[in-house]
Amino acid sequence: MIVVLTTSRSGKPIIQAGMYRYRKHNSYKNSSHAKAIQYTMSRFGKPVLLLGSYRYNLSSKYNGVKKYWLCSRKSTGCKASIFTVQEEVLFTVSRCGKPVIIVGEHRYYKINGSKTPKTQWVCNKWSSKNCRAAIWTIYIAEPRYSMSRGGNGVMEFQNYRYYLKKSKGPVYQWRCNKWSSRGCRGAVWTLEKEIIKLNTNHVH
């Protein structure tokens, strides 16, 4: 599941996590100690991501808008890593190897023990400052991609079949194959073949 930072039609910031949307709480005050993300180049001309006092080197594992960064001290056993999509930090791993979500200036840690696809992530200030900010993510089975006889993109997901309709930059829209014949408005949006938005209101 990918968490995407985007804006509403009125220009307000929104977090899109799967089929769920989150709005920014305007009363929250940013911390003066927040660490900004910076991008630079190494002496050898390689991309480097700076987060506070830590350096991450770009891995060749992922290409395109989705990128994977590894701690510059990986050789010493550090497991910290960061995923970015269009230069926004999404999922990362702490120095201890535990999963972390970074949204803007804030960090969220995974709550262990969940037996359902829904997972809760809580603010890292949950205990120290009683902050109750949280994010929920939902695991969704991977879609299957293929090509139709006419050479068009096809997606099979949750017992439904979708055809590739259009794209807006790196985001692709897939429409239910009953869109025209039955007026079904079921649709899926993907980024790098990963689902970021769903409309599961099928009529068949």
Tell me, what's the pLDDT at 4? Answer: 58
What is d(CA 49, CA 76) in angstroms, rounded to the nearest whole number?
Answer: 18
What is d(CA 165, CA 173) in angstroms, rounded to the nearest whole number?
Answer: 6
- Domain ranges for the chain: 3-27+35-138, 144-199
Q: What CATH number does domain 144-199 carry, 3.30.70.260, 3.40.50.1970, 2.20.25.240, 3.30.499.10?
A: 2.20.25.240
pLDDT tens series, the chain, 204 aa = 455 556 666 666 667 665 566 776 554 444 433 456 777 888 887 888 888 788 899 887 665 667 788 899 888 888 888 877 666 656 777 778 788 887 766 788 888 765 555 678 888 888 888 888 888 776 666 788 898 888 889 999 878 899 998 776 778 899 999 999 999 988 988 877 777 788 877 888
* Sheet strands side by side (includes 13-17): 3-7, 13-17, 20-23
What is d(CA 201, CA 24) in angstroms, rounded to the nearest whole number?
Answer: 27
Contacts (Cβ under 8 Å, ≥6 apart) of 12: 23, 24
What is the full DSSP assignment across 70-118?
Answer: EETTGGGT---EEEEETTEEEEEE-TTS-EEEEETTEEEEEPTT--SSE
Q: How many CB atoms lie within 10 A of CB 169?
A: 8
pTM, rounded to two decimals = 0.39
Tell me, what's the pLDDT at 28? Answer: 41
